[in-house]
Amino acid sequence: MDAIVNTVIHLSSSDPVTHESVVGNVRNLLADEGLSNDAVALVANGGGVSLFAADAPQRERVAALAEEDVALKACGNTLVGGDLAEEDLVDAVEIVPSGIGEVARLQSEEDYAYFEA
């Protein structure tokens, strides 16, 4: 019997190698035949928001995750602090008030398993 899971991956690093790894890990999670992924969210704050930039090296892979129903969520506080706008991000990204707050909400209200990137 497959385990049914909700998973949130939290990314705060601006490191491009970490970004590549995170995208790969999300792909692996989606491909895992032993799991039924009910919902997957990738929440970025701080330097992690750069993964969602419209001109980021991983932008096409990030957009592909969105097409597979991965919820992409960027911290609004980071955008304000970094003088970034929603238009600077990949189209599918949702802006949330606080990245860490969204992680806490998903864990407490929606029973998501947490993984830090």
Q: Where are the domains of the chain?
A: 3-116
> Taking a C-beta distance cutoff of 8 angstroms, is the pair 41, 106 a contact?
yes
pLDDT number for residue 77: 97
- For 93-105, what is the mean pLDDT? 97
Answer yes or no: is pLDDT of 6 > 60: yes
Cα–Cα distance for residue pair 95/85, rounded to 1 Å: 10
Strand intervals (E) in 31-107 = 35-44, 70-75, 94-96
Structure tokens at 77: 């506080």
pLDDT digits (tens, 9 = 90+) for 49-97: 999 999 999 999 999 999 999 999 999 999 999 988 999 999 999 999 9
Contact between residue 94 and residue 70 where contact means Cβ atoms under 8 Å apart: no
Under a CB-based contact definition with an 8 Å cutoff, are residues 54 and 40 in contact?
Answer: no
Mean pLDDT of the region 28-51: 92
Mean pLDDT for the stretch of residues 38-48: 95
- pLDDT confidence of 2, banded at 50, 70, 90? low
Q: Which CATH number fits domain 3-116: 3.40.50.300, 3.40.1260.10, 3.90.330.10, 3.50.50.60?
A: 3.40.1260.10
Report the SS3 class of residue 76: helix
